[in-house]
Structure 1
Amino acid sequence: MAAAVLDDRGAVVGWTGTAQDLTGFCADEVHGRPLRELVADLPRGLRRATQLPATGRVRLRHRCGNTVDVTFRTTRVSGSTDVLVLAAPTLHAADHQHGAALLRALSAQNRLTIALHDTDLTTVQTNAMPDTLDGRPVQPGTRLHDVLCAEDAESIEAVLRQVLETGVPVLGRKQHVSWRDHAMRRHALSLSAFRLEDARGRPAGVATLYIDDADQLRARRQLDLAREVAERVGGSLDVVRTAHDLAGVLVPAFGDLAAVDLAQAVFDGDEPPERLGGGDLHLRVAALVPATAAWPTGIKRGNLVPPLSDHPLLRRFQHGETVVYGPDDFVALIGGRQPAEQLLPHDAHTVMAAPLYARGLTLGAIVVWRTGPSEPFAEDEVDLMRQIASRGALAMDNARRYTREHRAAMALQQSLLPPTTTDTPAAETAGVYLPTGRGAGTRGDWYDAISLPSLRLALVAGDVIGHGIPASATMGRLRAAIQTLADLELEPDELLTRIADLVQRLAAEASPGSHDVVGATCLYAVYDPVTRRCAMASAGHPPPVLVRPDGTAEAVDILPGPPLAVCGMPYETTTIDLEPGSVLALYTDGLVHRRAHDIDDGLRRLTDALATSCRPDRALDETGRSLLEDLVDEAPRDDATLLLARTRAVHAQDTAHWRIPADPAAVSEARAWAARQLTAWGLDDLLFPTELIVSELVTNAIRHGRPPAELRLIRNHVLVCEVTDSNSAQPRLRRARTTDEGGRGLFLVAQLAERWGCRHGQSHKTIWSEQPIACAH
């Protein structure tokens, strides 16, 4: 800034060094000369003026012949007629004016604090006002330690010292600080710092800019919270887990404590009734976060929410509003200060409650508390909670509807499955079923143990494609069909062929979009305790595992046919010998198919586990449960079923065979042989009906059958009488007319026996009957 002093005539009487720097003239060269001689192109208005204007802009002559554009300001020297003239290059003056205007504009901003610090980091100038820092003006000479907590002041001063030393500015550094007088409250600031330099480029101080980042931080946190709700809530189809996820995202991002209360009907998957007004709302606490907090004695997970008064806040809540209230309103809602103390968290000052409202149903409520130094809820947070509750309610309703469908599917599935354990002369069995742990619901896996005539036992394991109620319904139809065909005593390969035809018809009946998803795999086995042989066939099903009495185990080498959805391909029956005490394990692929292993590896694990677990002194149902716990993932991707059958055998002394001659006279011999055998077994009370049954069946074999023929008696809890011949024609029960000479044989058998039937082999048929033994040995 150049300065000159003029007398009352306008002559120069004082000249500074900066004036010499500006014009190139020294003091001796201009002393006594009129100032107008130094001005080039003097404006007409100033050529004859006796007084200089207060401000203006002119061009001064430079000693080298050039001109300098300057802006000047004049002022009279106090107590004298002399005039002080201050001048600066117009460019510098304009920059100064713009800079001053910018500084004034920045200083006027409400959330912007500017501070100038010297090289000792002492505050030289600042616009800090009561609303910007700690409520008191910050005076020049103040240090950061006088305003901020010691830790925060040291952190910021370290940054400012680095700026002073390096000259590298700091831009937008996120800083959380606490004021010295309010240490519990944290404030978010954005710090920018620049080094100040003098004309020679030496450090002169630091200029700092503090921007209140609270609004941006709040908006960012709200966006982060909304994104986290979208990511975390709704991933589970369990209502309790969904409630816990919903409460978990709110703490500590939104509040200090959170609870989710659900209508009791929601836990069962049902629709809650609509309620208005006070009283018992039938709400139950489903989730508390954090679970380790010191919750009041009246708030525990699983507790019922106490009855509430008919308060305007409750009415607003029941009409779908999110409400915010304090301890006094809470006391009014509960109906007294004493019960409220058992339900209000310690040091809570604000409560927000949002209804979980979806598809016209109020499913429950989200309740969030803020305690201690936390700020009360703001209006924008109420809007945010409304959005969170809306998303949470949809997730909760999806979980509720899934729970309802899952329970229905599970109930259907369980009702369609056989008893878990059976005890028959052929084997004792134990079945275990574990539904999938994922959201798809049940998948149509099943097992069955079907008692057949002549003490035989059919074992079945199957897996229906699809999931949920449709899969359970298909499973029920297939199980019923297999039981019906099993009563016809078909060979395993023939039975699977007929079931495959049934599946094809079911696929044809399905809707056009479901044709390709109707199908199943199945393993069907029949064990005969008399011959100790087991015949089996597979329709795309994993092979059974055989555990021998000596503890060795292996997968049965069975040739699998196509799944039941494929029609026209043959199935093959495999027959193996089973020692008494052997364990045959049928299962579905959910037991051997794990995430990190292929099916072959899973089959090896199952085989090894069966060899270890199947001990004669251990109950089969206990063994089955233990195997499922060890082999199945915590959240299995598929249903898993396991059917274990420990085989038995009918002793040789409990069976008797007699070859039937092709002679009508052999009927009396057959009766006599049967009578002797029953007497030897101590079954004299069954002599008369057995003689009649034997007489009729043998007579039919001789008259209508072809040799060879055989009569067999089996003693167990029933007396089995079988006649086998080489004619495959199916006998028919009919009612003979009065004048008919024959046709009453099978009618008599049906009347005398508890049940009777006929089964076919490859080149023979067997007609059998069963009579109960009063005191089975």
Structure 2
Amino acid sequence: MDGPGSGRTGDPAGGAADASALPRSILDQLPVPVSYFDRGCRLVTANPAALRVVDRELADLVGLTPGEMGPEVVGGAGEGLQAAMLQVMESGETLSFETYLGRNGAGERVWVAVLSPVSDATGRVHGCSVVTLDTTEQYRARQRLTALDEASVRIGTTLDVGRTAEELAELATESFADFVTVDLLAPVLAGEEPRPPAPGSALVFRRVAQESVLPGCPEAVVTLGEHHEHDRNSVLGRILLQGEARRWDLGEEALRLWEQTEPERYASMLTHGIHATVAAPLTARGVTLGVAVFSRHRNPDPFDDDDVLLAGDLAARSAVAVDNARRYTREHATALALQRSLLPRRAARQQAVDVASRYLPNTTGAGIGGDWFDVIPLSGARVALVVGDVVGHGVQASATMGRLRTAVRTLADVDLAPDELLTQLDDLVLKLDREEAVDAEGSSVAGATCLYVTYDPVSGHCALARAGHPEPVLVRPDGTTSPVALPGGPPLGVGGLPFESVELELPERSLLALYTDGLLEAPERERETALELLCDTLARPSGSLDDTCDAVVKALLPERPDDDVALLLARTNRLGGDRHASWELASDPSVVSRARHLAAAKLEEWGLGDAVFTTELVVSELVTNAIRYGGSPIRLRLIRDTSLVCEVSDGSSTAPHLRRARIYDEGGRGLLLVASLTECWGTRYGPTGKTIWAEQTLPGA
């Protein structure tokens, strides 16, 4: 036998007893919650870690199913957990189940329960073990990654500053905040570059978005769209100037800081129980645009460092989108200002037609286009109506439109026929495209379209030609409406193809509608249907031309058109026989005296006696030139319109030239005298000769 001094210690029987108790001891010491349920899904036992999680005694829970334990123990997942246990015991396979199994004083905790069948040596299943792992941090990390992934899709979907801010607020309240406000510096909304405030001055913001888990955002102390100020030393002022996101757990010290600098916000925090806040500046490309504030009152967890990183990332992504929208707003405003400055600002001084117009820029991200229109007074009381469209969008398209409009005005002063004018304009576009290399951001002139119309109120004669432009619509005085059949002609810049004019006789009070293709290209209807609707709308009596313009825009265009639209309506007038007179003259120097007397008599009849002396001199010089250098037939015409027009036509196409005569020259002073006595003068050519005209300001005008 071994004696006391043999060196053997312990008791084999006691060792066996200790070994049999070891599994239970290990279970009790495990930091992981473990529980066991029988085949009826009733709790048999649970280790101390599991009881600490739910803060309950084992005796209170033994014999209860998950569905009977109450939401304070298993959250709202009791029935689902019990169903999962039954599935595990029937299939004999392990299953994972994500649930809320309790609270630990710091808000809801997310747990993953690993359910495993418990069987004996024969394979008979006696129950189910549940090992739960706290995955709250992993769950929140997934939420943050999901929020960032959604931010790349949901924030910045439009080039609208306000909408981008709303997208940030909506996403943040769905993912990690209960109340979000987004304030932008006032210049940002106008597309301007924010400048650092002067020392001692306040920061002026505008509330552009706010979102809450509560209906109506009762936490807000600033209404949407309202301007408000922050002192540079306030909480948000410091955040904005420092340029970094920061969080506050609103204890007594932090609340005192808010109370001193933001008393209204402090009162709202107390009222709604806001206990945690993160403020993140919206900074992009080195420019601070505003600030976003994220708050919690429903969620009892404070913001942690990861939440601050998430808020900063969301604010940074939103800031880039806001800056893009700001830059677009600035470019859009610049292009629109350029576009409007190049369009007619007031009605041209003429009485041939009554006009009304509309220019509607597109409201999408495509940028301002090159649509334009013009009303150009011509000689002889005539008028030219022009509508055009330059390909492309943006400032370049607007600048190109201005060049074309200037070219058309210059060519119109030469009094070319519509087809000849478009031919000259086409040549000009070809030269411009050859001379200028068009870069990737430029807008080529080639491909522009144009419709040019001239109208003579004395004869009612109208001539039209187009270069790839939609044909105009004519409404006759009897109400019949139809597009004017015009040869299409190629767009400007194609070259090598001719343009053709169409001539019409328009009754007085006829209506011509000139427009760009954006008017007929609404996505919800076909072009032919839109043209029929335009004709029907124009045929309906609607009062003034402005009312008709409004009716057309309302009938054919959506609230946010996708393309620029230019619309020009012109109602024709006629000059009565009491406002013009003409005489055929023989090619004989003796008729010059008779021409002077005829003109003087007509002016006296019109009550323009003060203009007789000047008109006699003009008539004398122009008729003398026609007899000396021109040829039959010679015709003298006077027109009383917005000015007094004197015209002399002859059968020669030889152009007169203004020159300065030397001291001893016998001739060369006639046109110089005409130019000195009249407001303007010029020459236009017709099929059988030329007409020299001169305009005088009406006495008393």
1:325 CA displacement: 1.5
| 1:383 equivalent among 291, 309, 333 | 309
Q: Distance in 2 between matches of 1:343 and 1:738?
A: 93
**Which aligned pairs between 1:63-78 and structure 2 lie closer than 5 A?**
75=13
Quick check: 1:609 aligned with 2:547? no
Larger displacement relative to structure 2 (539-548 or 751-760): 751-760
Quick check: 1:434 aligned with 2:360? yes
Instruction: Identify if the C-alpha distance between structure 1 residues 565 and 647 changes in structure 2 by more than 3 Å, giving closer, same or farther.
Output: same
Partner of 1:587: 515
1:526 CA displacement: 1.0
Larger displacement relative to structure 2 (653-662 or 137-146): 137-146
Instruction: Identify if the C-alpha distance between structure 1 residues 171 and 618 changes in structure 2 by more than 3 Å, giving closer, same or farther.
Output: farther
Partner of 2:564: 639
Higher relative contact order, chain-length normalized (CA < 8 Å, sep 6+): 2
| 2:62 equivalent among 138, 141, 144 | 141
Q: Which has more helix, going by share of residues?
A: 2
Partner of 2:131: 209
Counterpart contact for 2:522–2:558, Cα < 8 Å = yes
Q: Deviations over 1:175-209 (max 9, x none)?
A: 34565x98x95443334434444556655222233
Quick check: 1:484 aligned with 2:391? no
Counterpart contact for 1:706–1:725, Cα < 8 Å = yes
DSSP-derived class of the 1:743 partner: coil
DSSP-derived class of the 1:75 partner: helix
Quick check: 1:348 aligned with 2:270? no
Counterpart contact for 2:348–2:376, Cα < 8 Å = no
DSSP-derived class of the 1:363 partner: strand
Counterpart contact for 2:178–2:298, Cα < 8 Å = no
Counterpart contact for 2:283–2:319, Cα < 8 Å = yes
Quick check: 1:250 aligned with 2:176? no
Q: Distance in 1 between matches of 2:554 and 2:83?
A: 59
Counterpart amino acid of residue 610 in structure 1: L
| 2:633 equivalent among 708, 718, 721 | 708
Q: Distance in 2 between matches of 1:490 and 1:106?
A: 103
Instruction: Identify if the C-alpha distance between structure 1 residues 54 and 194 changes in structure 2 by more than 3 Å, giving closer, same or farther.
Output: farther
| 1:505 equivalent among 405, 413, 431 | 431
Counterpart contact for 2:234–2:261, Cα < 8 Å = no
| 2:228 equivalent among 305, 309, 320 | 305
Larger displacement relative to structure 2 (198-207 or 599-608): 198-207
1:165 CA displacement: 7.4
DSSP-derived class of the 2:433 partner: helix
TM-score normalized by the length of structure 2: 0.89
Counterpart contact for 1:129–1:138, Cα < 8 Å = no
Partner of 1:59: none
Counterpart amino acid of residue 283 in structure 1: F
Instruction: Identify if the C-alpha distance between structure 1 residues 494 and 347 changes in structure 2 by more than 3 Å, giving closer, same or farther.
Output: same
Identity in percent: 40
1:502 CA displacement: 2.1
TM-score normalized by the length of structure 1: 0.81
| 1:718 equivalent among 605, 628, 643 | 643
Partner of 1:42: none
Counterpart contact for 2:348–2:377, Cα < 8 Å = no
Structure 1 residue runs of 5 or longer lacking an equivalent are 1-7, 9-50, 56-72, 78-83, 86-92
Partner of 2:246: 323
Q: Distance in 2 between matches of 1:646 and 1:106?
A: 97
Q: Distance in 2 between matches of 1:387 and 1:131?
A: 39
Structure 2 residue runs of 5 or longer lacking an equivalent are none
Larger displacement relative to structure 2 (693-702 or 504-513): 504-513
Quick check: 1:475 aligned with 2:401? yes
Q: Deviations over 1:56-115 (max 9, x none)?
A: xxxxxxxxxxxxxxxxx97389xxxxxx99xxxxxxx9xx99xx98x99898775x5332
Instruction: Identify if the C-alpha distance between structure 1 residues 270 and 164 changes in structure 2 by more than 3 Å, giving closer, same or farther.
Output: closer
Counterpart contact for 2:349–2:642, Cα < 8 Å = no
Larger displacement relative to structure 2 (687-696 or 420-429): 420-429
Instruction: Identify if the C-alpha distance between structure 1 residues 353 and 668 changes in structure 2 by more than 3 Å, giving closer, same or farther.
Output: same
Q: Distance in 2 between matches of 1:285 and 1:605?
A: 43
**Which aligned pairs between 1:339-418 and structure 2 lie closer than 5 A?**
339-341=264-266, 344=269, 346-418=272-344
What RMSD over aligned residues (CA atoms) do the two structures have, in Å? 3.4
Instruction: Identify if the C-alpha distance between structure 1 residues 157 and 286 changes in structure 2 by more than 3 Å, giving closer, same or farther.
Output: closer
1:479 CA displacement: 1.0
DSSP-derived class of the 1:306 partner: strand
Quick check: 1:117 aligned with 2:37? yes
**Which aligned pairs between 1:45-124 and structure 2 lie closer than 5 A?**
75=13, 112-124=32-44
Counterpart amino acid of residue 518 in structure 1: V
Counterpart contact for 2:258–2:266, Cα < 8 Å = no
1:169 CA displacement: 4.9
1:670 CA displacement: 1.8
| 1:667 equivalent among 565, 584, 592 | 592
Q: Distance in 1 between matches of 2:667 and 2:144?
A: 93
| 2:484 equivalent among 556, 564, 586 | 556
Counterpart contact for 1:134–1:147, Cα < 8 Å = no
Instruction: Identify if the C-alpha distance between structure 1 residues 601 and 703 changes in structure 2 by more than 3 Å, giving closer, same or farther.
Output: same
Counterpart contact for 1:247–1:287, Cα < 8 Å = yes
Counterpart contact for 1:465–1:471, Cα < 8 Å = yes
Counterpart amino acid of residue 246 in structure 1: L
1:364 CA displacement: 0.8
Instruction: Identify if the C-alpha distance between structure 1 residues 137 and 567 changes in structure 2 by more than 3 Å, giving closer, same or farther.
Output: farther
Partner of 2:83: 159
DSSP-derived class of the 1:348 partner: coil
Counterpart amino acid of residue 517 in structure 1: S
Q: Deviations over 1:600-630 (max 9, x none)?
A: 3433332233223xx3x62222332342243
**Which aligned pairs between 1:124-203 and structure 2 lie closer than 5 A?**
124-127=44-47, 129=49, 133-136=53-56, 138-139=58-59, 141=62, 143=64, 144=66, 145-146=68-69, 148-149=71-72, 152=76, 154-156=78-80, 158-160=82-84, 162-163=86-87, 166-167=90-91, 169=93, 171-176=95-100, 185-198=107-120, 203=125
Counterpart amino acid of residue 299 in structure 1: V
Instruction: Identify if the C-alpha distance between structure 1 residues 312 and 256 changes in structure 2 by more than 3 Å, giving closer, same or farther.
Output: closer
Partner of 1:759: 684
Q: Deviations over 1:724-776 (max 9, x none)?
A: 11211111122222322222222222233222211112332111122233368
| 1:545 equivalent among 473, 492, 498 | 473
Instruction: Identify if the C-alpha distance between structure 1 residues 507 and 598 changes in structure 2 by more than 3 Å, giving closer, same or farther.
Output: farther
Counterpart amino acid of residue 207 in structure 2: V
Counterpart amino acid of residue 266 in structure 1: V
Instruction: Identify if the C-alpha distance between structure 1 residues 241 and 152 changes in structure 2 by more than 3 Å, giving closer, same or farther.
Output: closer
Q: Deviations over 1:577-619 (max 9, x none)?
A: 222222211111111112244433433332233223xx3x622
Counterpart amino acid of residue 175 in structure 1: T
Counterpart contact for 1:580–1:649, Cα < 8 Å = yes
Larger radius of gyration: 1
The aligned length equals 686
Instruction: Identify if the C-alpha distance between structure 1 residues 313 and 268 changes in structure 2 by more than 3 Å, giving closer, same or farther.
Output: closer
1:278 CA displacement: 7.4
Q: Distance in 1 between matches of 2:219 and 2:699?
A: 67
Quick check: 1:444 aligned with 2:382? no
Instruction: Identify if the C-alpha distance between structure 1 residues 251 and 160 changes in structure 2 by more than 3 Å, giving closer, same or farther.
Output: closer
Larger displacement relative to structure 2 (549-558 or 626-635): 626-635
Counterpart amino acid of residue 515 in structure 2: Y
DSSP-derived class of the 2:592 partner: helix
Instruction: Identify if the C-alpha distance between structure 1 residues 429 and 114 changes in structure 2 by more than 3 Å, giving closer, same or farther.
Output: same
Counterpart amino acid of residue 227 in structure 1: D
Q: Distance in 2 between matches of 1:606 and 1:288?
A: 43
Counterpart contact for 1:194–1:208, Cα < 8 Å = yes
Counterpart amino acid of residue 441 in structure 1: G
Counterpart contact for 2:638–2:647, Cα < 8 Å = yes
Q: Distance in 2 between matches of 1:747 and 1:396?
A: 62
Instruction: Identify if the C-alpha distance between structure 1 residues 734 and 264 changes in structure 2 by more than 3 Å, giving closer, same or farther.
Output: same
Counterpart contact for 1:545–1:553, Cα < 8 Å = yes
Partner of 2:460: 532
Q: Distance in 1 between matches of 2:631 and 2:405?
A: 36
| 1:696 equivalent among 618, 621, 633 | 621
